[in-house]
Amino acid sequence: MKVLVAVDDSDFSRHALAWVLDHLFPFPAAAADQPAEEPRPALVLVHALEPLRHIMYPIGPGSAVYGAPSMMQSVWAAQAENARSLLDRAKRTCHQRGVSAEVVVVEGEPREALCRAAADMGAGLLVVGSRGLGAIKRHVTWRSFRNTWNLDDARLLM
């Protein structure tokens, strides 16, 4: 089974990764006790880069100027570097626990990009942080994911 964990810079994301490491991946010492017919799941850490919105600056009453393409490229490069840093940090956390992980950066609106990545990779489980939502909002968000991604093929853990 392949497990995808959404990684961002929130405490909720870090807690989700810690939960996965605690509950789905035994410590190396405990791995020897695991029956050979139950292979360890594969872990994939995924970060979604949101598309850049056009940037406008007001320059006076009734007028504005768009940001220069070089500025947009600079912002995009900074986002990509931030994503690499986040994923490297999460991967180090996994390695400290004796778990190897693959890292992937996807582009697009996070919900859709994460669901698309899970479907493309044949994931059995997609784990996302709760973003601090209460039970009702968490249920609504889960339903939104469910409408985006066919959960008959895989499961969502929030």
Residue pLDDT, tens place only, 31-89: 555 555 566 779 999 999 988 776 665 666 766 666 667 777 888 899 999 999 999 99
Q: pTM to 2 decimals?
A: 0.74
Instruction: Answer yes or no: are the C-beta atoms of 24 and 41 closer than 8 Å.
Output: yes
What percent of the chain clears pLDDT 90, i.e. is strictly above it?
34
Looking at the predicted structure, is the pLDDT value of residue 105 above 50? yes
User: Domain limits of the chain?
Assistant: 2-157
CA dist 18 and 64 (Å) reads 46
CA dist 113 and 107 (Å) reads 6
Topology classification of domain 2-157: Rossmann fold (3.40.50)
Looking at 1-158, which runs of residues are DSSP E strands?
A: 2-6, 42-49, 56-60, 63-66, 101-107, 125-127, 155-157
